Structure 1
Amino acid sequence: MFKPAPVDQNQLADALKPFGQSRMLPVGAYLDEAVLAWEREHLFAGWVALGRSEEIGKPRQMKAFGLGSSGVLVTRGDDLELRGFENACRHRGHELLACDATAEARAIVCPYHAWAYRLTGELIGAPGHKEAESFDPADYPLHPVDVREWHGWLFADRGSSKTFEEHVQGLDAILANYEGQELVTVETHEYDVAANWKVVVENYQECYHCSSIHPELCVVSPPESGDNIDPQGDWMGGDMDLRDFAATMSLDGHSDGIVMAKLDEREQRTVMYLALLPNMLLSLHPDYVMTHLLTPLAPGKTRIRCSWAFPRQVAERAGFDPAYAVDFWDLTNRQDWAACESVQRGMSTPGYVPGPMAPAEDGVYDFVRYVARAYAGE
């Protein structure tokens, strides 16, 4: 159980009504610092996606990832096992590695006073303490953080009440044929969007808006197509069809890649859109996988890291250019971000009250109900 969020309880009750009667989340959910602080303490304190495991694919590699208001250091030892630690030296708390920085070494060495740790977290060196009385290095290991490698992505948890298996319940079967652990990230874009992180997720959960702002997407995928999946674990989503002439999502439907080898006939003709809460949006195409990782910076600002991963034989092919996929989604992303920013500005107007959801917004309802239940303390 969570402590309830600091939101308008009447508006929250409306958000919890059955689909067809419910409304969007309380307006404070998108505007108030206190709500974001609550979300960081509760929604972002459990399993959070960090990035791709290929970023630290070799022994003796390490990387610091942002996680909440601080960070987590992930290492891969000589045994190839991943381990996570709070990114703070046990001496004075200096970051062991700058956020987003990577290193390859036999030990973790704090850049401030050179305290050194094994990649498994044990303190092995503290300059000036060799003769110090009552100083035992065994008393100062790095504080561990649970990490998990899953289908090629990294996750960390600082204290969820759920196991990782409960968090992703039902997703393994959906992702299995895409062989995410074998994919190679070819390009990454970063966007700062002037909108609340939940506005971005809600936008991702529906194509009700596609006919209005995504003419290029509608050329290759019918906006009314596809079905949503009954939510399980901490995720929700659904699929959309490709038009008959289209091989994938690109400006003209062509692909410069290859269809992933294990996809069945339906997977070869659809794009799957999954929101793994709180911060990962996963788009599965027949020939590539796109990931959005969301970091809330303020109630009205979200940093989004978007990456495109392809089968290794494509990514490592001489002269391969991912532009057919990247250009399409960069355009579509920017259309979405502009809409999300307009929503954020509109909700800030005096007198705004949460509106109802359209019949085509059942995916939005799944997300809103998930968050509303958390706000209510469930």
Structure 2
Amino acid sequence: MVSQPLSASLSAAPPASTRAFPPAPVDPGGLAEALRPFGESRMLPRAAYTDPAVFEWERRHFFGGGWMCVARASELRVAGDQLAADVGAGSVLLVRGEDGAVRAFANTCRHRGHELLPCGSAANAKAIVCPYHSWAYTLSGQLRGAPGFRGTAGFDPSAWPLAALPCAEWHGLVFVDGSGGAAGPLPLAALDEVIAPYEPQRLVTAAVHGYDAAANWKILTENYHECYHCPAIHPELCRVTPPRSGENYASTGAWIGGTMELRSGAATMSLDGRSNGVPLRGLLGEALRTVIYIQIFPNVLLSLHPDYVMTHLLVPVAADRTRIECSWAFAPEATARADFDPGYAVDFWDLTNRQDWAACEAVQRGLSSPHASPGPLAPDEETVYAFVTTVARGYLGERVVERAVEATAELPLPRG
């Protein structure tokens, strides 16, 4: 994505009295270098990518202390659908209720703390039942049965509901605030105009791939934010989109991204530039020649194409390991065709993903050297700078929320 002047003002670290988190165990001098103006700054200190203590701080505060995407809404289609997912240092149980709403609960029974569902697994049932002692809860989290407690003096089932967590469905994604409510509303209002014409909640997920990368989650995210590396490792991508095309959105911190353009003759991002799908019905004009790349902090990479939407969900496992779930969703009128094959998009991005993960793993190995030190950012790495400064401010104690920007760049938006 082409570099444009940053519109967002970069605030200094918040005073101690207004910090949302305690500062991370990262060298403040290195963070000050990362927060210098674009063109003068450096990358984050090496410890941000390699130190287990920094990773544990991130897991508690970035991934467990605010909003985090935990699932696709399509994984919870009907009443009784249940899914357990990682959130910070613990896990959350998602449930689709009889009223159609998705609710989130801490994945821990109120009796002895047993997890209600193994993390990463799914089920469908009319109740939430702990597999340890069979305590049973309604889909709204109220205790409805505790074997052996009937008639016990002083035992009030209404006093033992599951611990509810703030939960929001947003354009086909499910977000949970692992802090229990300190983060405020989901900070994505400014992004609605960009995402809405693609109607992700209407699309049909036709393929899901899981990856395990031996790299820090921030290295994967930084790689996503620039095409400076594309000529060196992505010849297939460069054949369908010019690496220096497009522009960047003014960053709010809660989300960062920009656009790239398709080459003449290419209908979409595929190995031959051809599409086996159909254009998404909400797109017209320039939107049919544009690909949008958005990162929602901390763990969503959302790629919007003229005929499909690709979503990466990052789950940090260790300082040097990240699980990635990549899904591809298409218009229902395309997936309903007998001859529909999502391979044109899946094969292209599976190849591109593997090229990226290999590069990111090499970065992780390089940063493990005690001689590695933070380098400068290239002029084409403005969105990397927006991400790095968001992380640096977070390390200093600032909660990542949607900040106001001084001006909004004149950028191509999809129009319906």
Task: Tell whether the structures are fold-level matches, with TM greater than 0.5.
Answer: yes
Separation of aligned partners in 2, 1:102 and 1:314 = 28
Structure 1 partner of 2:22: 3
Q: Which residue of 2 aligns with 1:35?
A: 54
Query: Out of 378, 381, 401, which is 1:361 matched to?
Result: 381
Per-residue deviation, residues 143-182 of structure 1 (Å, max 9, x unmatched): 00111101111111122544334x2131100001001110
Contact 1:169 1:233 in 2 (8 A): no
Instruction: Find the aligned partners of 1:370 and 1:332 in 2 and give their Cα distance.
Output: 26
Shift of the alpha carbon at 1:100?
Answer: 2.5
* Per-residue Cα deviation, 1:41-75 (whole angstroms, up to 9, x for no partner): 21112110112101111122222122223211111
1:201 corresponds to: 221
After superposition, give the CA deviation of every residue in 1:335-360 in whole Å (9 maximum; x if it has no partner): 00010000011111122110000001
User: What is the RMSD of the two structures over their aligned residues, measured on CA atoms?
Assistant: 1.1
Identity percentage over the alignment?
56
294, 298, 307: which is aligned to 2:314?
A: 294
Question: Residues 181-260 of structure 1: matches in 2 within 5 Å?
Answer: 181-232=201-252, 234-260=254-280
The SS at the match of 1:271 is: strand
Asked if the contact 1:60–1:78 (Cα under 8 Å) also holds between the matched residues in 2, the reply is yes
Residue aligning to 1:89: 109
Alignment partners' CA distance in 2, 1:127 and 1:100 = 27
Does residue 14 (structure 1) correspond to residue 33 (structure 2)? The answer is yes
TM-score, length-scaled by structure 1? 0.97
Give 1 or 2: higher strand fraction.
Answer: 1
**Aligned position for 2:9:** none
CA contact (8 A) 1:169 1:232 kept: no
AA aligned to 1:163 is G
Change (3 A) 1:374 1:201: same
CA distance in 2 between partners of 1:335 and 1:122 (Å): 48
Q: Distance in 2 between matches of 1:146 and 1:69?
A: 17
Contact 2:212 2:323 (8 Å CA) reproduced = yes
User: Contact 2:68–2:178 at 8 Å: present in 1 too?
Assistant: no
Displacement of 1:233? 5.0
Match of 1:337 in 2: 357
Q: After the TM superposition, which residues 137-216 of structure 1 pair with which residues of structure 2 at under 5 Å, given as runs?
A: 137-159=157-179, 161-165=182-186, 167-216=187-236
Measure the CA separation in 2 of the matches of 1:340 and 1:108.
40
Whole-Å separation in 2 of the counterparts to 1:192 and 1:343: 15
In structure 1, runs of 5+ residues without a counterpart are: none
Gaps of 5+ in 2: 1-18, 399-416
1:112 corresponds to which letter in structure 2?
Y
CA–CA distance in 2 between the matches of 1:297 and 1:102? 20
State the secondary structure of the residue aligned to 2:384: helix
Bigger relative contact order (CA 8 A; separation at least 6): 2
Q: Secondary structure at the match of 1:237?
A: strand
Preserved contact between residue 226 and residue 239 of structure 1 (Cα < 8 Å)? yes
CA contact (8 A) 2:60 2:89 kept: no
Structure 1 residue ranges (4+ consecutive) displaced by more than 6 angstroms after TM superposition:
none
For residues 160-209 of structure 1, give each alpha carbon's deviation from its aligned partner in whole angstroms, at most 9, with x where no partner exists.
544334x2131100001001110111111111101100000000000000
Equivalences, count: 377
